[in-house]
Structure 1
Amino acid sequence: MKKLGYTLMFLLFTQFSWAQDINKIISTGYVDHLIKTLSNDDMEGRGLYTPGIDKAAAFIESEFKSIGLQPLIGETGFRQSFEKDGKALFNVAGMIPGKSKAKEIVVFSGHYDHLGIVKGDLQDSIANGADDDASGTTAVIALAKYYKQLNNNERTLIFVAFTAEEIGGFGSKYFSKKLNPDEVVAMFNIEMIGKESKFGKNTAFITGYDKSDFGKILQKNLAGTEFTFHPDPYTAQQLFYRSDNATLAALGVPAHTISTDQIDKDPFYHTVKDEYSTLDTQNILATIKAIAKSAISIVKGTDTPVRIPKLVEKQ
């Protein structure tokens, strides 16, 4: 009986310590600063080929540098540059090298581009993209800070803010070509976590839930918390194939998108009304912390999600 009591005390202490650490690293003020900056009017909706998106990229770069990330192998800085139609585009990416399993990669991603200046109402023409996807980009930066300070990742962690998602996922397609997909263990793509999901508070959904055991691993790591992950309730929307996880998933990687958006009835989606004022910042904070905890066994190398059947083999 005494042994059981000690075990319970240890588990409670571990949970308390984890909560204390993550609350200090991923604070409300920190997350608020990130998303306010990325969705500010100064960023001009982060439209492609604009000063606004360049300003957003510079901000993400400065955060990655401050956190202490390293550029990806083969890159001299945090910008991963490529061309489309003769014009320059760039992802912003950094890494934390793994310890004992450095050749095994875990990717955390979101897209930082949005629609830019659009036809709006008489008062507003800036599509700020606060939820889509400044919220996901905020999560990527905050998770980078958390895992860098935790300093216990056996696998190599890559944190990437993609460009050109809104016009066809060209940033993630280029990124995928630079990796050996067989070395990518999992991809946590984060898209639109700024509002409560249809399942209620402390919940999110995972696209392609039935395609691997990724979601089950995440939920196992959340045992004892109030947060739960659910399968994608919007399968008719084909969300699994509409975000930046799709390219790596097609190559067999357990690459899934985590979201909370009620996409079937979101009145702000792809409008000038997708602003900071419409967000539930506590929802963002809770989701980021849940991802941080749920990913821990994959980051440490003790869990490996099963592969997704390669779509390329059917072509």
Structure 2
Amino acid sequence: MKKMIFILMAATLVACGTSNRINQLSTETLTSKKQRVKLPSSNPTQIAIDVQYLSSDELQGRDTGSKGIELAATYLKERFESLGIEPYGDSYMHPFQTDKATGNNVVAVLNGSDKELMKETIVIGAHYDHIGIIQAVAGDSIANGANDNATGTASVLAVAEMFKKLDFNRRKVVFALFSAEEKGLVGSRELAKQMKVNGENVVAMINFEMTGTPMVGKNYIAYLTGYDTSNMGDIFNKENETRTVTAKLPAAAQMNLFARSDNYAFYEVFKVPSQTLSTFDFTNFNEYHKVGDDITGVNAQHMSQVVDATFPGIFFMANEQGLKLKAMTNE
């Protein structure tokens, strides 16, 4: 069964049909120890559908610049359209060209409702590219990239759908799906730089990366890279009353994962809390950058649980004060 997640609010609200009443509360605090609001749950079936298509053989491993990744970008554009979420700027497609890669980021936006906080932006992102065709194993040469990172992409779509159902976010929320991460964070760096040039006041970036398999022997559902760079982990854990959401994974620090996914591009450009949620713990997935990274290794129910567990913290960051940057670490 889908898990119903609750957060604290200043007035009693019902999950469906509450848009008008929520808007009336747009100048009040959302957190109180007296009242709660139901947040929507994610749809594991839709998550599975998204991962299945993005990691299908038809897309040939989604290498940046390939026909396959163009098909993926069109699919993502159409998914945002189906959710009724507007393009960021004039188009969902944000092209870039560098000496390393040419591609398209796919970007959508929900504008904020608060007259002051709407001037601030949080970015929720994931890369949708992978490495394409590689050396064949048993006749299979397609690196489908199901866990890396169709799962993160599907998670962003699920979060976008939940925000759209709530129809409430004080800050602007940008949903950014990046190309050319595998070429060295190219797409995310280009988008971050362009947003900076355009005067976007980004205050946080939450990235989803490889969330397709449950961690082994952990009492939390996902680790957070760069854990000590901000209090983001504390917010995730405080806002979810039913379980411990996240913690610091020592292996992530040892492998410097903080600087190896698209969160880092936004940290570099905006110097704000910018971190990645992942469940790849180096023991639970053996198909990284291999042809075996296909839909059979993805647990959509687990992915839905990750989205549902982290959404209260994301919702807080879209609506409340309290997220703070700490000192930079080597994580």
Q: TM-score range by the shorter chain?
A: 0.7 to 0.9
Q: State the Cα deviation string for residues 251-305 of structure 1 (Å, max 9, x = none).
A: 41100000000236631111000011011222111001112122111111x2331
> Alignment partner for residue 78 of structure 1, among 83, 92, 98?
92
Residue of structure 2 equivalent to 1:279:
298
- Tell me how many residue pairs correspond in the alignment: 294
- Give the CA RMSD over aligned residues: 2.4
Q: CA deviation at 1:232?
A: 2.7
> Alignment partner for residue 262 of structure 2, among 244, 250, 262?
244
> Alignment partner for residue 48 of structure 2, among 3, 7, 32?
32
Is it true that 1:229 corresponds to 2:246 in the alignment?
A: yes
Identity percentage of aligned residues = 31
What SS class does the counterpart of residue 295 from structure 1 fall into? helix
Letter in 1 for 2:298: L
Q: Is the 8 A contact 2:213 2:285 kept in 1?
A: no
Residue of structure 1 equivalent to 2:111:
97
> Alignment partner for residue 216 of structure 1, among 217, 225, 234?
234
**TM-score using structure 1 length:** 0.87
Q: Is the 8 A contact 1:221 1:295 kept in 2?
A: no
Q: CA deviation at 1:198?
A: 3.3
Residue of structure 1 equivalent to 2:21:
none
**TM-score using structure 2 length:** 0.83
- C-alpha spacing 1:86/1:27, structure 2 compared with 1 (3 Å): closer
User: 2 CA distance for matches of 1:310 and 1:231?
Assistant: 15
Residue of structure 1 equivalent to 2:323:
305
User: 1 CA distance for matches of 2:231 and 2:328?
Assistant: 16
User: 1 CA distance for matches of 2:133 and 2:327?
Assistant: 39
Q: CA deviation at 1:248?
A: 1.5
What SS class does the counterpart of residue 119 from structure 1 fall into? strand
Letter in 2 for 1:36: Q
Residue of structure 1 equivalent to 2:156:
140
- C-alpha spacing 1:33/1:211, structure 2 compared with 1 (3 Å): same
Q: Please identify which structure carries the higher helix content.
A: 1
Is it true that 1:270 corresponds to 2:289 in the alignment?
A: yes
Residue of structure 2 equivalent to 1:44:
60
Residue of structure 2 equivalent to 1:295:
314
Residue of structure 1 equivalent to 2:22:
none
Q: State the Cα deviation string for residues 79-103 of structure 1 (Å, max 9, x = none).
A: 0111123963110000000011211
> Alignment partner for residue 131 of structure 1, among 147, 152, 175?
147
- C-alpha spacing 1:202/1:216, structure 2 compared with 1 (3 Å): closer
Q: Is the 8 A contact 1:111 1:163 kept in 2?
A: yes
Q: CA deviation at 1:189?
A: 0.4
What SS class does the counterpart of residue 195 from structure 1 fall into? coil
User: 2 CA distance for matches of 1:199 and 1:182?
Assistant: 41
User: 1 CA distance for matches of 2:64 and 2:54?
Assistant: 14
